[in-house]
Amino acid sequence: MYNLRVQIDSGSGFCFGVIYAIQMAEDMLDEKGYLYCLGDIVHNDEEVQRLTRRGLRIISHEEFKNLRNETVLIRAHGEPPATYQIAVQNNIELIDASCPVVLKLQNRIKTSYDKKEPIYIYGKQGHAEVLGLLGQTNNNAVVFESLEELQPETLPAQLTLYSQTTKSTSSFYNIKATLEAQGYQVTANDTICRQVSNRDKELRQFARLFDRIVFVSGTKSSNGKVLYNVCKETNPNTFFISAVEELDKAAFLPGERIGICGATSTPMWLMENVQKELLSY
């Protein structure tokens, strides 16, 4: 027996936006037995599979366009205006579980767009939330993941800066400061979700307490990649897994202290299963 001492980070697990979306989905599944969801309800394959077994039907935007007279869940990431227009045309009832933080950001971007401000969004190209934000500008905003992507000769002297809600606060303000140092006038709108951004500091503190860290997250989670790197920087003995089956017993030593943590899209039940497996060594 390895007699590992294993602790789960109490701050890890679903953010309130994901909890809300999954609760709405489960309520509808209890009532109806099945429910369509536009895209993965959360960027975690294990949780998606659990809900799929209960009757959740994940559909693409193409499939959504051809759907008629059904009920469809909009996940926490939010959707562009075009989605709501299609729903009206196709007599689709929408169960809108868009995160309130995302909706607030969408509204602010729409207001800036109506004022004809040049809008720049710090975010991941193609991410579900970012596509919803772009939709508020008729896809006229500029999305970038690093300053290197922006061509100085194309930047306006004055610009309005926004961010995907799950991006790093420090990175956002570093971008603002760098642009201002280069002579640009930047109106920065900090709409980053603090439940997500505060995880950075909390996870650094957690990762220092253990011999090894097991970070549990779906491979599609942008938030998961950021927080994994936070743990890895703090504790080099950090491993990334998406499922219990990916654990490698040979990677641990008897008597070690193991910390388990995850993304805001990682279900607590999955981290508990990882803990149970480690304790069985």
The answer to whether the beta carbons of residues 97 and 73 sit under 8 Å apart is yes
Which candidate in 129, 149, 245, 272 is catalytic? 129
Active site residue 129: yes
Compute φ and ψ for 155, nearest 5 degrees.
-75, 135
φ/ψ bin of 182: left (φ > 0), alpha (ψ from -120 to 50), beta (otherwise): alpha
CA angle centred on 257, ends 255 and 261, rounded to 5°: 145
Q: Closest by alpha carbon to 98, among 116, 123, 76, 71?
A: 76
Six-digit token string for 242: 């998406």
The answer to whether the beta carbons of residues 77 and 42 sit under 8 Å apart is no
Q: Closest by alpha carbon to 70, among 81, 54, 82, 59?
A: 59
Query: Could you give the residue numbers annotated as active site?
Result: 129
